[in-house]
Structure 1
Amino acid sequence: MRFQPGQLIMHRNVRRGRLGWVRPARVVSDDEHGLLVWLDRGSPVANEVADDGRGMRAMPFTEWITRSYQIKHGFWLGPPVLKFLPTGAAHSVWWFRDDDHQFLNWYVNLEEPGVRWADDELAGVDVVDQDLDVVIRPDRSWTWKDEEEFVERLAFPEHYWVRDEAAVRAEGRRVITIAEAGEFPFDGTWCDFRPEPSWSPPAELPLGWDRPPAVG
């Protein structure tokens, strides 16, 4: 399944069969190398929160797993983000930029390889975010991110969606090696990307955004 440039798709994170977050994204390109999408500021989003309205990161995981959950709608208020999902890889790479559209850093989001889906006129890709991340600066220096949360959640395998800690860390180290060497996509590719002027975010999530997850 290939997506078309300019197509609006749903980029979704799944946690043990539940939607963790949903973000509409424009397809920049989709080929044998992978899927490149654009998330614009102001895009409508949906996030799983606890019954009291707090997100997962606002409480200890020991409390989160005792709560019931609901979906909260809002808007992407962070900077516009370019996201690349390499074909078959257990990570994606995000390009962050400042308000003047200047490149800030790469963000390696460790995740299970995305699974694509299509329903009539709506399509998307579902991932399982594995929480541990790597921030890579323009000079290719790097640091792990969210390691404390990752370790905390691993202590509850009956509730956590990450099944293989060693594999997640190995993928992170593999990507770090690529980044340190300045190899694609850490070679300057897409650092000066500009979206098509006609790509405005939708007013709301399209019907079908909450279809059953394509991953567990």
Structure 2
Amino acid sequence: MSILPQSTPAAVPAGARPLGEGPFLAPGAQIDWHYRKPGWQPGEPSTITPMRVVRDDERGLVAWLAPGTLQEGQGAPDGQRVRSVPLERRWLEPRTRIVEEWWGNGILRIAPAGAAWSVWLFWSDVTGAEWEFAGWYVNLENAHLRTDHDTYTSDHILDVEIDASGGIHLKDEDEVIAAIDQGRLSAEQAAQIERHADAAIVSFREGDWPFDAEWRDWRPDPEWTVPQLAGLDDLATP
């Protein structure tokens, strides 16, 4: 269950449906993954990442973010990435729309239907035939609502990192504190997010899907091209 305000007609297109409800996309199709702030209005900054569908069915969405992918991002007032804004003002400064390149190796993102998180799988070395699995990253967020070719959520700031050996720790707890101080979250919302983190950790320890072994050994189709996001030519590049 998600705890931040879910979609309004402006934030998500009319007719958007939860993940796990068809029609579904075939493997290799492009889907654009949106992160929008609560109460987002058309024209406001968001993060939009074009990805290739790996699996789209009743369990949820599995998608591949390829190295070198250009995405729409949320920038600071000077056009730099948001993390250039000091933490004590990060949710007070206005944001701009920018182009960002996904650096490093690709990642596999899995959004289980109805869950208040998505699971990201990382590999530290993808240059040879045998990839080196680096671990899971649990991004706490609203349960997704999607249209045929887009999926929408809102980031919950706090995250969980799980290394390949099963070591667990929370990430960005300092950002949650700053978000409360700056009015981005209430203390009650932050407490619920922490409970979602606890639930995700339990899910991992119990070996629930998608934490099972299936996805650690997954590889992208070598024929896939890097998907293109429309409208990037109109945005600033840091």
TM class by smaller structure: 0.7 to 0.9
Please name the residue that 2:122 is paired with.
Answer: 96
Aligned to 1:110: 140
Structure 1 counterpart of 2:172, which letter? D
Question: SS in structure 2 opposite 1:164?
Answer: helix
Task: Write the letter of the residue equivalent to 1:103.
Answer: F
Q: Counterpart of 2:89?
A: 63
1:75 and 2:101 matched:
yes
Aligned to 2:155: 129
- Equivalence for 2:5: none
Deviation at 1:90, TM superposition (A): 0.4
Moved more, 11-20 or 65-74: 65-74
Shift of 1:51: 1.8
> SS state of the match for residue 46, structure 1?
strand
Residue 160 to residue 113, structure 1, CA distance change in 2 (3 Å): same
User: Structure 2: 5+ residue runs without aligned partners?
Assistant: 1-21
Q: Which moved more, 1:99-108 or 1:55-64?
A: 55-64
Matched residue type, 1:95: L
Say whether the 8 Å CA contact 1:93–1:109 is kept in structure 2: yes
- Residue by residue over 1:146-195, the C-alpha shift from the partner in whole angstroms, topping out at 9 and shown as x without a partner, is 111111112233x4599711221111101111212333322212101111
Q: CA deviation at 1:114?
A: 0.9
Contact preservation (8 Å) 2:161, 2:170: yes
Q: CA RMSD in A?
A: 2.2
Secondary structure, aligned partner of 1:4: coil
Three-state SS of the structure 2 residue aligned to 1:139 is coil
Q: Is the 8 A contact 1:15 1:161 kept in 2?
A: no
Among 8, 14, 22, the alignment partner of 2:36 is 14
Q: Secondary structure at the match of 2:214?
A: coil
Counterpart among 176, 196, 201 of residue 171 in structure 1 = 196
Say which SS state the counterpart of residue 178 (structure 1) adopts: helix
Shift of 1:48: 1.1
**Higher fraction of strand:** 1
Aligned-residue offset at 1:66: 4.3
Which secondary structure does the structure 2 equivalent of 1:195 belong to?
coil
Matched residues in 2 for 1:166 and 1:160: separation?
10
Distance in 1, Cα, partners of 2:191 & 2:141:
13
Alpha-carbon spacing, 1:67–1:139, altered in 2? closer, same or farther (3 Å): closer
TM-score if structure 1 supplies the norm length?
0.85
Q: Deviations over 1:2-55 (max 9, x none)?
A: 222211011111023144311101010111111100000011111111221232
CA distance in 2, matches of 1:176, 1:138: 14
Normalising by structure 2, we get a TM-score of: 0.78
Residues in 2 aligned to 1:29 and 1:45: alpha-carbon distance in whole angstroms: 21
Match of 2:78 in 1: 52
Which AA in structure 2 matches 1:111?
E
User: Does the aligned pair in 2 maintain the 1:130–1:161 contact within 8 Å?
Assistant: no
Number of residue equivalences: 203
